[in-house]
Amino acid sequence: MKLERSTPALVGFVIAGILAVWLQDVLIPYTEPYWGLFGNFLDLDVYRAGAQVVLDGGDLYDAKLLGQMDFTYAPISVILFAPFAWMSAGFAHLLWTIGIFVALYLTVMLGFRSLGHQATWRLRVIAGSIVAVSALLEPVRSTIWFGQINVFLMLLIVADLVRPEGSRLRGVGAGIAAGIKLTPLIFGAYLLVTKQWKAAATMTAGFAGTVALGFALMPTASSKFWFNTMFDSDRVSSPQTVGNQSIRGTLANLGHTDHPSTAAWLALSIPLVLLAGWAAVVAHRHGQELLAIAVVGMTSCAVSPVAWSHHWVWVVPLLVVVIHQVSEKLSGPAQWSLIVLTVGGFLAAVAWRTHFAFPMWFANRSVEDAYFTGLFFKHPRWFDWFTVQPFTLILVVTAGVTIAAYQRSASDRVSTGTTVTGRR
């Protein structure tokens, strides 16, 4: 079934998109003060406040933004945030939200194009429906609610790296993303492991360019960040925070400690990096660049000292890969197995609501009650090992399935080739 030509697929996705918009309101009403989908924008306001500090000649990394928040991105990011500091809060929130939805849509469309689909009107409508459905996932909903930057960095990396090897300046986008937020540096390791030397060099140049530009425009802030602040992960948050969806966060939350074992963190992170790296290499060798990018992006979240749920927006290109495989590549038991795994992963990543009906201090304000989202706020004793960290487990399953599927595919081709040769 070709998605871009299928009327039944179009109808099905449109219905799913409409249901997703309704379910979003069921989850937490759009009109719920502060907790509704468009009611927060805390992170965007921090970005704007940080840019304003620089515009006013203040110290970016010593300032307490909005009363208590720290600025955690590289100095070059201020260039991106400054225009929003000049706007009114309401207009900045609106423009940023529109940008998030556009970035999600472009990521989905670029993903489908990289998988060989034609950009027909049907595919464009399907992509819009997928965006609506993806907003039910905790990483995407939290990105919208907080006004986060991660979807823009994801789009920059996807648009850059799904291009054919040897494309002009391929790698520079990933380098710029890494210059804004350090975690995309892992894509440099991926490019080196897969011997994409030109892209790796271009990424290095793009990253170095952002650092150099930062020093040229903000020498004091750049010195403080690159030689001091970037090593202090506690500026982001205490590791023992429920929303910290990294391996270190898992250890902190399960162990109820703000000082999880570094040895245990490394002992778990190194095997995961090897497994995910293997999966990314296998996907790359079989021409599945979008899948490789999604795996590497998720890995960057898993091994970070602190990775909020909204950092895991890499589930969006992964969803595109799965839809492509189910609709066009697989059949029979393999197709149904992937459907079952996808439904399970989707349910694990949904922004499940947890309502706390009592006053509390949240982020930078006192609230009368709270509507938290994400499976990690659910704590059944018998299943806490899973609910505390669903996203890393999604990565492990994705990596394992990728390796098993493409290694088997390679073995089948070798076997078929031997049989044909024998017949000759």
pLDDT value at residue 410: 62
Tens of pLDDT, residues 282-296: 999 999 999 999 999
76 contacts 51 by C-beta, under 8 angstroms = no
How large is the average pLDDT for residues 335-364?
Answer: 93
Tens of pLDDT, residues 43-101: 999 999 999 999 999 999 999 998 888 899 999 999 999 999 999 999 999 999 999 99
Average pLDDT, the chain: 92
Residue 423 included in any domain: no
Residue 5 included in any domain: no
Which residues neighbour 96 within 8 Å (Cβ) at sequence distance 6 or greater? 41, 44, 84, 147
Q: Is 423 helix (H, G, I), strand (E, B) or coil?
A: helix
pLDDT value at residue 420: 39
Domain count, the chain: 1
Can you give the residue range of the structural domain that contains 103? 12-410
Residue 139 included in any domain: yes
Q: If we measure between CA atoms, which residue out of 248, 384, 245 comes closest to residue 309?
A: 245
Tens of pLDDT, residues 130-148: 999 999 999 999 999 999 9
Residue 422 included in any domain: no
85 contacts 58 by C-beta, under 8 angstroms = no
392 contacts 398 by C-beta, under 8 angstroms = no
Residue 243 included in any domain: yes
Question: What ranges in 307-383 are assigned the alpha helix state H?
Answer: 315-324, 332-349
Residue 328 included in any domain: yes
Residue 4 included in any domain: no
Report the C-alpha gap between 207 and 176 in whole angstroms: 5
Residue 418 included in any domain: no
How large is the average pLDDT for residues 117-129?
Answer: 97
pLDDT value at residue 317: 98
Q: Is 354 helix (H, G, I), strand (E, B) or coil?
A: strand
